[in-house]
Amino acid sequence: MRLPCEVDFGNQLESLRTVSKVVCDTGDIEAVRHFCPYDATTNPSLLLKAASMSEYEPIVGESLRRVAPFANLLSERPMTGVVEDLAVSFGTEITRIIPGRVSTEVDAHLSYDTVAMVQTARRLIDLYASKGVGPERIYIKLAATWAGIQACKILEKEGIHTNMTLIFSFAQAAAAADAGASLISPFVGRIMDWHKQKEGRAFASWEDPGVQSVKRIYKYFKQNKYKTIIMAASFRNTDEILELAGCDNITISPVLMSELEACTSPVEVKLHPEWTHLYNTVPEEIPGRMTFDSPDAFDRMHSQDTMAVEKLREGVAGFCADQIKLEEMLLEKFTTYLHP
């Protein structure tokens, strides 16, 4: 189905900017500077990569000098405070480049502990404030577990804007909107990966299960007048991105941004709030506003989606693993500073 609009502004990245807010998915400050996105997203995996780059050694060193001397080196994870400081330091530098917000993630080890997530989120906001960055420039990223969704509800009431990440099921998206999340991040590529492995075949972009998941969420949010922003994330190729042109926000890796920048074909708008009645690619009936008053209500719906259950668990574990790698790298660097 063709929707009635194409845009052409020289290359696909520039064209995409006219119909969606383009977000850079990286901790690489220079990549953000090059691509001039509206927002930027970071996570432990991206911070690990950026912190390993020689050009950011001064930022890493400053966080170690500022925080590590106060760490309890006998504790199981003595570098957690340094990681928080480092995430905020990278985020602060990024806010000096972009006009919008940067997403900073709460330690994934806390994904099933509402109180700990709320406390960490408040601490991150305070760290940003100490560097002159207000809460209006920040999204706090929380895994969209039931505990994370409850933390979202508390934080949003305090004026702390949340980005509910690792969205794989319709239940997660609907519950996050019900909780008042500022933004959600449905993961397109990881959904497609699961179906590709299970079904043993590739998918055209229009039938890509991850793309279809975002379109269903988009239709539900727009028809029910939710203010929650949908930021499509986790792409495997530019075809997936282009199939969601018009989504509120799209967060894209520097590699895929380069590919879009190199292509001069026009971009066809696929999503628009006034066109949801045209989406015959979303056959499921779209319900009215759903409420989730208990974990049982959420779990009943979420657990019906085997893919989502597996990928959420896997996603949390992956971010935990990269958090530990980052902490180990920082501890090694700090030990070197102590004993050169």
Q: Which residues are designated catalytic? A: 141
Structural tokens at position 80: 């957690």
3 state SS of 116: helix
Do 188 and 308 contact (CB within 8 A), yes or no? no
Beta-strand pair 267-268/162-167: unpaired
Helix, strand, coil proportions of the chain in percent (round to 5)?
Answer: 55, 10, 30
Q: Distances in Å between the alpha carbon of 135 and those of 230, 310, 333?
A: 20, 33, 31
Structural tokens at position 134: 């207000």
Structural tokens at position 176: 């996050």
Q: Distances in Å between the alpha carbon of 33 and those of 174, 258, 313?
A: 34, 13, 33
Q: At what angle do helices 295-302 and 146-157 cross, to 10 degrees?
A: 130
3 state SS of 4: coil
Q: Distances in Å between the alpha carbon of 339 and those of 74, 328, 332, 334?
A: 17, 16, 10, 9
| Terminal-to-terminal C-alpha distance of the chain | 64
